[in-house]
């Protein structure tokens, strides 16, 4: 089991009291997290000697099931998670709460560049890869099908880790895939794939990854949670301020301590187009989460309505002061 865990978690027992490991995936929907971690470390260097020095450490996971298990077991107390998955965990009695958004938009439905597929009708009978039935990417696909009066039963759906999707499309193992970036950009920048649809065009207020913390952390260390939310909101505003900031974020995220990816692919996401993923508007709007819930109920991944207050804690966002990012 230890061999399968992120290295940073193996030494969790020796963590400093004011240090927090935050789980995330190497996806651009999680980009505010590496920026927040690095910015906080930089601000600690110049902070007054008597100021609280919280430290946030990014821990990379390969998939949502692994993050879910670590959060459920308490191996980590904070993570970027799929919003519908947090709703389901809270409904099952797992003490977790959403405290902030992490991004807006950022999902794509990709097909081969040489494919004749131009509409969803032409996906009928085709093999489509999704990351998970809990993923909001899957809800995006269902949403687009509904606009064409189609149902998911008209497609062959397979669940697949996003990093495997570009190669599967290249090998014709799937006809299309729906996922978050940079795994759409990886195939597009390589020249063999094109977007069929993007959330930036079809669902600009799309949300997927949310900052989630265990309730014990909220009870035991509210100031740390508040500081983390402030850093994430600050990172989001900073990312959308200017392209130069995004270029710096690319270099941070591409590093071995974070996404460990080709910076050219992450940069492609940041530039083609520049609002492929956005981070500046991280307001938590109840109606948007309720829409996600209704879509999840229709998809069968959530069985019944769940009270907003059961999975959401808006108290940190209400008093947040987005951190100034100096990188």
Greatest extent of the chain over all pairs of C-alpha atoms, in Å: 64
DSSP state for residue 37 in the 8-state scheme: H
Q: Which of 183, 202, 221 is the endpoint of a domain?
A: 202
81 and 212 co-located in one domain: yes
- Of 141, 192, 183, 196, the closest CA to residue 277 belongs to 183
The answer, yes or no, to whether residue 14 has pLDDT greater than 80, is no
Distance CA(100)–CA(282), nearest Å, equals 7
Q: Are residues 44 and 141 in the same domain?
A: no
Q: State whether 217 and 311 are in the same domain.
A: yes
113 and 95 housed in the same domain = no
| Residue 10 within a domain | no
* % of the chain exceeding 90 in pLDDT: 87
Same domain membership, residue 302 and residue 210: yes
Q: State residue 15's pLDDT score.
A: 56
- CATH classification at residue 40: 3.40.190.10
- Overall average pLDDT of the 43-58 stretch: 84
Q: Do 256 and 130 share a structural domain?
A: no
Percent of residues, the chain, with pLDDT higher than 70? 94
Q: Which pLDDT score is estimated for 148?
A: 93
Query: Across 52-149, where does the E strand assignment appear?
Result: 55-60, 78-82, 96-101, 104-105, 107-112, 127-130
pLDDT of residue 258: 96
Note the pLDDT of residue 50: 67
Answer yes or no: do 193 and 217 share one domain. Answer: no
Q: Are residues 61 and 198 in the same domain?
A: no
Q: What is the pLDDT of residue 132?
A: 87
For residue 23, the enclosing domain spans 16-104+206-318
pTM value is 0.90
> Hey, what long-range contacts does 285-291 have (CB within 8 A, 24 or more apart)?
285/205, 286/312, 288/205, 288/207, 289/83, 289/87, 289/207
pLDDT reading at 37 higher than 90? yes
Which pLDDT score, from 0 to 100, does residue 205 have?
A: 86
Residue 3 lies in a domain: no
pLDDT at 46 over 70: yes
Q: Predicted confidence band at 12 (pLDDT cuts at 50, 70, 90)? A: very low
Q: Which residues pair with 197 in a beta bridge?
A: 109
Q: Is residue 90 part of a domain?
A: yes
Residue 326, domain member (yes or no): no
Number of structural domains found in the chain: 2
Q: Name 3's Cβ contacts closer than 8 Å, sequence gap at least 6.
A: none
Asked if the model's pLDDT at residue 17 lies above 60, the reply is: yes
**Mean pLDDT over the full length of the chain:** 92
pLDDT surpasses 60 at 9: no
pLDDT band at 161 (very low <50, low <70, confident <90, very high): confident
pLDDT in tens, 103-150: 999 999 999 999 999 999 999 999 999 998 889 999 999 999 999 999
- On whether residue 11 sits in a domain, the answer given is no
Q: Is the pLDDT of residue 16 over 90?
A: no
86/212 same-domain check: yes
Tallying the residues shown for the chain, one arrives at 327
Q: What is the mean pLDDT of residues 87-97?
A: 97
Q: Is the peptide bond before 182 cis (omega within 30 degrees of 0)?
A: yes
Report pLDDT for 3.
39
Is it the case that residue 248 has pLDDT exceeding 80?
yes
Per-residue pLDDT tens digits for 200-232 = 999 988 999 999 999 999 999 999 999 999 999
- Given pLDDT bands bounded at 50, 70 and 90, which one contains residue 1? very low
Question: Average pLDDT in the 250-264 region?
Answer: 96
Residues 210 and 197 in one domain: no
Compare 273 and 1 and report the one with higher pLDDT: 273
Q: Is the pLDDT of residue 7 over 60?
A: no
From 163, 182, 202, give the residue that closes a domain: 202
Q: Which residues are CB-neighbours of 212 under 8 A, at least 6 positions away?
A: 71, 78, 79, 80, 81, 86, 96, 97, 98, 99
Q: Please tell me whether residues 85 and 220 are part of one structural domain.
A: yes
Q: Give yes or no for a contact between 302 and 85, defined as CB atoms under 8 angstroms apart.
A: no
Q: Is residue 243 domain-shared with residue 282, that is, in the same domain?
A: yes
Flag whether 240 is in a domain: yes
Q: Which of 172, 202, 232 is the last residue of a domain?
A: 202
């Amino acid at each position: 089991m230890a061999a399968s865990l992120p290295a940073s978690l193996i030494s969790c027992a020796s963590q400093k009291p004011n240090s927090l490991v935050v789980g995330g995936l190497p996806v651009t929907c999680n980009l505010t997290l590496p920026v927040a971690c690095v910015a906080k470390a930089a601000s600690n260097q110049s902070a007054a000697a008597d100021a609280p020095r919280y430290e946030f450490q990014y821990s990379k996971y390969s998939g949502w099931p692994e993050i879910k298990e670590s959060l459920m077991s308490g191996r980590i107390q904070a993570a970027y998670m799929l919003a519908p998955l947090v709703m389901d965990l809270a409904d099952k009695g797992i003490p977790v709460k959403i405290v902030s958004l992490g991004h807006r938009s950022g999902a794509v439905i990709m097909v081969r560049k040489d494919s004749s597929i131009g509409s969803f009708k032409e996906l009928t009978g085709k093999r489509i890869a999704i990351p998970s039935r809990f993923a909001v990417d899957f809800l995006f696909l269902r949403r687009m099908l509904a606009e064409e009066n189609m149902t998911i039963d008209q497609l062959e759906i397979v669940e697949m880790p996003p990093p495997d999707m570009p190669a599967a499309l290249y090998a014709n193992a799937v006809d299309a895939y729906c996922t978050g970036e940079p795994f759409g950009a990886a195939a597009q920048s390589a020249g063999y794939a094109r977007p069929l649809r993007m959330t930036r065009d079809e669902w600009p207020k799309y949300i997927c990854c949310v900052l989630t913390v265990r309730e014990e952390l909220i009870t035991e260390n509210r100031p740390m949670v508040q500081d983390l939310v402030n850093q994430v909101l600050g990172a989001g505003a900073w990312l959308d301020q200017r392209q130069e900031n995004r270029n710096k974020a690319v270099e941070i995220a591409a590093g071995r301590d974070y996404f460990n990816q080709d910076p050219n692919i992450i940069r492609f996401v940041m530039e083609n187009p520049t609002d492929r993923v956005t981070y500046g508007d991280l307001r938590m709007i109840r109606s948007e989460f309720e829409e996600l819930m209704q879509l999840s109920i229709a998809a069968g991944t959530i069985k019944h309505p769940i009270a907003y207050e059961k999975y959401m804690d808006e108290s940190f966002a209400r008093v947040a002061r987005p951190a100034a990012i100096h990188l």
